[in-house]
Amino acid sequence: MNPLQAILLGVVEGLTEFLPVSSTGHLTIVEELLGLPVNDAGVTAFTAIIQVGAIIAVIVYFRRDIVQIIGAWIRGLVHADARSDPNWRMAWYVIVGSIPIGVVGLLARHLVTGALRSLWVVVAGLVVWSVVMVLAERLGRKERSEGELSVVDAIVIGVVQCFALVPGVSRSGATISAGLFRGLDRVSATRFAFLLSIPALVAAGAFEAATSAGDVASSVGWVNTLIATVVSFLVGYASIAWLLRLVAHHSITVFVWYRVALAAVLSVLLVTGVIAAV
């Protein structure tokens, strides 16, 4: 990998991490087009690590909310009367909602970094979850606000987030869809999706950095990884603001046409042998 490729992959990560189009799927496609070995341990770790840049963008963008949530959680651990604060409940919703993907991610790690890296899996994920997104928009009541979140919502959305381990599904697409099915309005579902992404992606990036440091150094290089992470932060920050404005007035199904078109183009490239599935 060279620095220009690292910049390109950072842009792809920043643009697609929060849009319901699958960042892992896009990174796998671009890595394959660049001739990078997508099943290489270093490349796989690189893909997970640069997501941390996008997550730092979430932390910076929602810094005031996060400080209030953490502060309320700490106060609630000490003082019972502080537990009436909505931010105390939000802290627990994020914690509870993060448990499923933590467990499934660890148990299915080798599957996620192995067989599921196939571009045919990306095609299937793009198409199948597009149907889910359409159903979520049509069936979701979109009547409940962020203040009406419950622990059941957090558990359901957290479990559905596990589907995002399949390339092509999309973490935001999975969690926002789950929120809509639970009756949340789009902005509330999207904000909770952002907050829920923080523990999962930070943990995944830290785990890969700790366990695959040697693979990253010998394969893509830590300088390129740092470049891509910084770029993903910058682009990701802009993507967050844009998506929140979009979902306030438009359905998430605006992304379905793109997802299906991408799946169709990718299928043609695979069938004609222009690119390999793995």
Confidence band (pLDDT; 50, 70, 90) for 87? Answer: very high
Query: What does the pLDDT look like over 163-186, one tens digit per residue?
Result: 988 888 888 899 999 999 999 999
Residue 114 is predicted with a pLDDT of: 66
In this structure, are residues 243 and 84 in contact, taking their beta carbons and an 8 Å threshold?
no
Model confidence, pTM:
0.86
Residue type, 179: G
Q: Which of 12, 61, 48, 82 is nearest to 190 (CA)?
A: 61
Distance (Å) of CA 46 to CA 23, 35, 41, 150, 167: 13, 15, 9, 35, 15
**Domains of the chain: which residue ranges?**
3-271
Query: What does the pLDDT look like over 4-49, one tens digit per residue?
Result: 999 999 999 998 888 888 888 888 889 888 988 877 888 888 888 8
